[in-house]
Each structure stands twice: as structure tokens, then as C-alpha cells.
Structure 1
Amino acid sequence: MKYKIIDLFSGAGGLTLGFTDPRFCGGFECIYSIDNDSAAVKTHNANFGEHSLCTNIEDWLAKKPVIPETDLVIGGPPCQGFSLLNKKRHGDERRVLWEPFMDVVEQSKAKIFVIENVDGLLKSAEFDKIQKRAQKNGFTVQAGILNSANYGAPQTRRRTIIVGWKSNSILHPISFPPQQTHSAPDTSDNLPDWLTVHRAIGDLPEPVGTEIRKCNPPLDLHFGRNPTPMSLERYKTIPPGGNRFDLQKNAPHITPQCWIRKKSGGTDLFGRLWWNRPSVTIRTEFFKPEKGRYLHPEKHRPITHREAARLMGFPDDFIFYGSKTEIARQIGNAVPPPLAGAIAREIKAVLDASQIAVA
């Protein structure tokens, strides 16, 4: 028997993949998902079956749809309202999209819910509201900030995870945080070291062309860009592990004046990834080195879409649909499937135990 999940704000389906794919957990099936990004919905349908709907969740709920009963509701309400990158986050309407999420939890009679968001959510007033509403409806809530590198993703992505379960349906508490599968080097816990950038992308050849290629993965998304001579010259000045400060030191004549005037902050801008570490957080514009530490560890170029997908933890056989920009957005907004799988394994264990007890 497979447990049923509804994925809200599903994007490409990183959370769904972690729950449904045996390489991460398995034992779950997605029966419904919603997102307002049409390309992401096409991706989700291609990988998990034709049950993803492209719509605004509040418009959808206003039509009073018949919501199927499910075991879990999972999802990541848009995080920009909590992000420190959003300087106008106070009053951002995206802060309250957890409310329709909880509406679906209640109407679907879900026993468990999982919310993923940026680390800033945990210290926000919104988290307190989520917790109070969940507790009012009979849920026990656990929450914390998890680092995806601790769960087998080659990326140090820190995210708030909130897990709630109904104690009258789930006989045992869900173990939280999930048991780590990896740890930082030199940690005396006998776990394997964090996966590195080299292990994730070191086998890939040089990218070809600048467009999505009509060939088998992984090379379909392994394409480059056409940098200007100025950009290429800038890339060449960045040493292994370096960043914009090295550009300023080595080639001030081609360093943007705004960076020269800004003496502090932004240490990842125009930075190179390290071969022997996990990557930094992969965001939606990973193909722009001016946005973060997205230069290849040694080549004079930013990372490719395939490299970004691997650093997120997506297997090569996961199918992405859309334009270059749309696929980049799907990758950068995703939950790393290995992290999702770790959460799924803990949930499956208590669901299995509850089924055995009932039988």
C-alpha cells in the first residue's frame, strides 16, 4: 500500500520526488498537486502523472472544489515574503499563503503535513500563527532548520521544516529532526562526509552550445552561455575559491564601480564553487555569477543547468520542461529530493507502525 500525498506550491516536484522515488524513500504516491507556474506543472505531470493543476490556490479554493482525502499534505508556500533578500518583506501578501495550505490540510482530512520554507520563517510571527492553528486542529508540531548537506544533497541549503501530525491518528511521534545521513568533515559521528561538488558534477564534460539540447540526459541540460569579452576576462581573474574581492584586487579596471564602493558583504558574489565542499544554496539565477558563488570550480564559466540540478540532488532521469529561464526557476525553487527523502522515511516509519497496530 502506498500512502497518499497532496503537494501544494509543488513547483517541479522536489518534495514529491523525495517521498515517491525509492532512491530516496518511496512508499508514497502523489494524487494531487497545485502550482501557478505552468512550466513547473508540466514538469510535475511528466514525472508523477497527470494530476497537477495550474492555478492560484486561493482562486481554486474559492470555487469550493472536492478535495480528495489524503494521508499527507506537503508543500512550500512561496518563501520570498520571509527571505532576507526581500527588503520589503513586511506586509508581503506571500507571508500568508500558509493559510490556504492549512485549509487544504483540514479539508483533505490529512493526518500529517509538511511545510518547507526559508530559515527566516522559524523566527517569524507567521510561524507562531501556523503552530497555533495546527494545534487548534489537533496537530502536534515540530519544527527546525535543516541543512540539506546533512541528508545527502551536495549543497549547504538551510531550510525551515515544519512537521505536524494528529496524535489521534498517528500512534508514535515523528522523529524530528530526521536522522542525518552525512556530516561535515572531521565530525566524530561515523557518518559519511558531506557530498562534494566534485562528486556531483566532476564527471561531466565541457558543455556544448547555449540552448537546451535534443539529446539524452545528462547532456540535454548541459549547455553554456555566450559571455561578453569583459565577462570572460572577469571570470579568468577569479582564483580557485575566490570571489568578487579577488576581481577587485587583481583587475580593478574591470570591476564594477558599485562593488568597489561596497567594501563589505557579498562574499559569494562572483565566487567559484569549491571542488571539495558542497555547493552554496542554488537559487533561481545560478547562471549569473554576479548573483552568487556560481562560477565553476576551475573552468571560466558559470555552472550549467545540469550541474545545478545535480547540486540540488535531482537524478539525471528527472524530466524538466520549459524554457531555460523556466527550468532554472524550477531548479532553484525546489526542495532537494535527498532532504525530502529523509523526512519521508521518518514519516513512513510511523505510518507503517500505525497500520500494524490497527491491524
Structure 2
Amino acid sequence: MKIVDLFSGAGGLTFGFYYNLINGEFVRNENCEIVFANEFDNAAAEAFRLNFPDVNMIHKNIKEFSEEEVTALIGEDQIDLIIGGPPCQSFSTIGKRKYDDKAKLYNEYYRMLSLVRPRMFLFENVKGMLSMRDENGNLVMDDIASKFRHINDDLGYNIQYSVLNAVHFGVPQYRERVFIIGIRNDLDIAWEFPTFVEGTPTISLQEAIADLPIAQPAEEVGEYTHYDLENDYQRLMRGNNHRLTCHFVPTYGDKIQTIINHVIPGEGKDYINNLVDKGILEEKYRLTSGYSNTYGRLLPNQPCTTITKNLSTPSGLRCIHYNQNRALTPREGARIQSFPDWFQFYGNRFEVKTQIGNAVPPLLAMKLAEQIERLIG
């Protein structure tokens, strides 16, 4: 199966096609060839190269691809699949939603479909895309579906989309994303999204990360301290890895550290302000900004809340470790996303967290890849 990978980031979606899960290990899927990948962000492109060194990563603005360049990259072979999801920040229901240039990048995905003419495509984005409207008040999803169904007189795609929650597919995280599948309209292929089987157990946050070493504020830990792994998920994530990376904690000021020290699992901003009201904490610790779930401590016995690029920022969302007085480390965030510990990220601390928070969880990507490979592999 020949694949073109757009808006690849560090490679979460890529991972699902690059590997199979066999007997509790990630094994290279020799049936999938990623012909080329594209990413605009330099740090994410470098991370991709580190993890998929045999893939031709083109680091450039997707708008700069000419028809001649695309033709040269794909050669004479039929491309079976385009995968990828344009930047999602503009569609997110958290923060300011705006129909800006990033929101319009699905038009570049459309342009690449017209040039590559794959048999299928897989498009991913945040759930908020379904309710986003353009400058004329029209639903963006309607525009996407219309354009992708009728690319030109002889090319179009039959469209199906669904919201999938990563927690239903082996990922220890509640994370809803919309996936659009397009099947070229000259093909007689029936698609069904992978489904959640009621009663299937989920993986809790504690089950996912409890084996990772204790880390203190202002500390980076590079060695494992626990070698008696407790479950299959920990064994899968650890693999044969021996050197721990990205397991670091920032330095906190007095106010943030005091809040972290006092908040209990399942509580957040409102709990802290209640402590101030009762005189348990001084007035200077009152929180006047943020959402009700900010400065929140996670629950150990449930899957994690959605990981974002703010995964280590207590003022940004619920991300305080369930029993250590600190926020999650990037490596813990990667674990929660289902990246194995040997997966490498690149750049400064903000860039690393962005690569993790923006990614499609590899285990969810793997479920979609299995479905697609059964149809056209």
C-alpha cells in the first residue's frame, strides 16, 4: 500500500501505518510504503525524520508544492492513500475560534487529492470542526464534503465521517476526534469505521504511567527506576528501551507550587478558591482566571483527560499528576497518547509538548490502518 502523508507532525498518524502490533510488540509493517511526507514546522519535521528515517520528509509549506514536483515525487505508481490532518487550533472549541488561513488549509488537502488521485484518503481533525462556520456562516464541514465529493469532472470521493474516542481503542485518554474517510467514486469499496465493543476495559492513567520514575520540580530524569512492569500497556510502551527522554519538570513559582500541593484528585480551580474562602489558604492564592478544570489534579483510576500542547501547564488545563506535586512530564503525555518510550521528539520544551499534544494517538491510528489495509492493502 503506497501512502502520501500530509501535515504529518512528528508522526502519530504515520505510526499507525508504519507499524503493526504483533504479540505485544510494534513490528514494521512491510506492506505500507510512505512515498513521501510533508510537514511545515521544522522541529516536527526533524522529529519525524528521527523516527521514520526511510521516509522522504519534505519540510516546506504545502502551498509551495507544484504539480510537477508532486508528479516527480510519486512517480508512475498508483498512490493508494493520502493521510493527514491540517492544523486544528482554529477549529478547537477551547480558546478563540477563527476561520483564518490555518482553518482554510483543508483546501490544500483538496488540491493534493486532485494531483495525486489516491484510491482513498484519511483526514483527521478536532471535533470542533463539525460546528465551525466560515466567514459567510456556512458550515466548514459542508464545504469540505462538497469539495471532496466533486473534485473535478472525472474525480470525486464518497465521503463518510465519524467521531472516534481514543479511549475506546486502547489509549488511556478521553480524546474525541473527527475522521473523514474518502473512497474514490470509481471504486466499489464499502467502508466501516472501527467500533467500540461494549464492556471492553479501558486503561487508567495510573496503569499507563505508574512505572515511570518520580520526578521533582526543576528535575529531568533519564533513567528508569521501576523494572517490575505491572501490565501489558506498560510493557508495550517500554519495549526494549533503556534510556528515558523528555521526563522533565519545570520550576514553579510559590503560587503555582502551593496550588499544586493543595489540590486533590478530581478537583481544580474552584476547590482552591474554596480553600481561600475558608481561610485555609491566603487570599494571594485565589485564582481569578482560567476554566473550572484548570489547576486540576488528575484521577488515577480513570483514563486521562485530553492531552494538548499545554500538557505541563497547570493554568492551561487539568494536568497535575495524581500523586506527585507537579504537572505531567512530556514523556508521561507521550505515554498517555500511546507513543512508546523509544519514540523521539525534537526541539525545545515547547516544541516537544506541541508535537505530543497535536498528534493522533498511534494506537488509534493503528486501528484505522488495519481497516484500510483490509480494503485496499
TM-score by length of structure 2 reads: 0.83
Match of 1:134 in 2: 148
Match of 2:196 in 1: 180
Structure 1 vs Structure 2 CA RMSD: 2.2
Q: Does residue 44 of structure 2 align to residue 40 of structure 1?
A: yes
Q: Does residue 111 of structure 2 align to residue 93 of structure 1?
A: no
Task: Evaluate the alpha carbon distance shift between residue 276 and residue 168 of structure 1 in structure 2; reply closer, same or farther with a 3 A threshold.
Answer: same
SS, match of residue 247 in structure 1: helix
Q: Is the 8 A contact 2:222 2:243 kept in 1?
A: no
Task: Evaluate the alpha carbon distance shift between residue 120 and residue 230 of structure 1 in structure 2; reply closer, same or farther with a 3 A threshold.
Answer: closer
Task: Evaluate the alpha carbon distance shift between residue 206 and residue 152 of structure 1 in structure 2; reply closer, same or farther with a 3 A threshold.
Answer: same
Shift of 1:85: 2.6
Task: List alignment gaps of at least 5 residues for structure 1.
Answer: 182-188, 260-264, 353-359
Q: Does residue 121 of structure 2 align to residue 104 of structure 1?
A: no
Q: Distance in 2 between the 1:55 and 1:142 partners?
A: 30
Letter in 2 for 1:7: D
Shift of 1:31: 1.8
Letter in 1 for 2:320: L
1:244-255 superposed matches below 5 A? 244-250=269-275, 251=281, 253-255=283-285
Q: Is the 8 A contact 1:234 1:247 kept in 2?
A: yes
Task: Evaluate the alpha carbon distance shift between residue 59 and residue 86 of structure 1 in structure 2; reply closer, same or farther with a 3 A threshold.
Answer: farther
Match of 1:115 in 2: 123
Q: Distance in 2 between the 1:322 and 1:37 partners?
A: 11
Q: Does residue 260 of structure 2 align to residue 235 of structure 1?
A: yes
Match of 2:92 in 1: 83
Q: Distance in 1 between the 2:256 and 2:92 partners?
A: 29
Shift of 1:97: 0.5
Shift of 1:168: 2.4
Task: List alignment gaps of at least 5 residues for structure 2.
Answer: 133-138, 225-240, 276-280
| Residue identity (%) | 32
Match of 1:205 in 2: 213
1:1-359 superposed matches below 5 A? 3-23=1-21, 26=29, 27-49=31-53, 50-61=55-66, 64-66=69-71, 67-68=73-74, 69-89=78-98, 91-124=99-132, 125-136=139-150, 137-169=155-187, 171-176=188-193, 178-180=194-196, 189-191=198-200, 193-207=201-215, 210-211=219-220, 213=222, 219-250=244-275, 251=281, 253-259=283-289, 266-352=291-377
Q: Is the 8 A contact 2:13 2:360 kept in 1?
A: yes
Q: Answer with 43-52 or 9-18: which moved more.
A: 43-52
TM-score by length of structure 1 reads: 0.87
Shift of 1:22: 1.0
Q: Is the 8 A contact 1:179 1:342 kept in 2?
A: no
Q: Distance in 2 between the 1:284 and 1:339 partners?
A: 19
Q: Is the 8 A contact 2:272 2:286 kept in 1?
A: no
Q: Is the 8 A contact 2:297 2:322 kept in 1?
A: yes
SS, match of residue 79 in structure 1: coil
Letter in 2 for 1:21: Y
Number of aligned residues: 334
- Give CA-to-partner distance per residue, 1:137-195, whole Å, 9 cap, x none: 331111011111011111111111111012423x331112x1226xxxxxxx342x111
